Amino acid sequence: MYDVGEKGENVQRIIDGLGRFAELGFTEAIGRVKGAHRPDPLRLIGEQVIPVVAAL
């Protein structure tokens, strides 16, 4: 489960974890976003996580 934290404090941890998968050769990741029923966690994933990991 991807938990960005209340104010995005876990974003770097998510990026680091996905980066480790990329180093192993993974090209896709599937998971749940904690608090996806609220707009902020999804916004943080879209603005801060996806742009970084898309470049890996």
28 lies in some domain: yes
In whole angstroms, give the CA distance from residue 13 to residue 34.
14
Residues 31, 2: Cα–Cα separation, whole Å: 7
Number of domains in the chain: 1
Residue 5 lies in a domain: no
Residue 3 lies in a domain: no
CB 54 within 8 A of CB 11: no
pLDDT in tens, the chain (56 residues): 999 999 999 999 999 999 999 999 999 999 999 999 999 999 999 999 999 999 99
Whether residue 47 lies inside any domain: the answer is yes
User: Structural domain of residue 17, as residue ranges?
Assistant: 11-54
Q: Look-up: residue for tokens 């192993």?
A: 24
Structure confidence at residue 25 (pLDDT):
97
Let me know if residue 1 belongs to a domain.
no
pLDDT of residue 17: 97
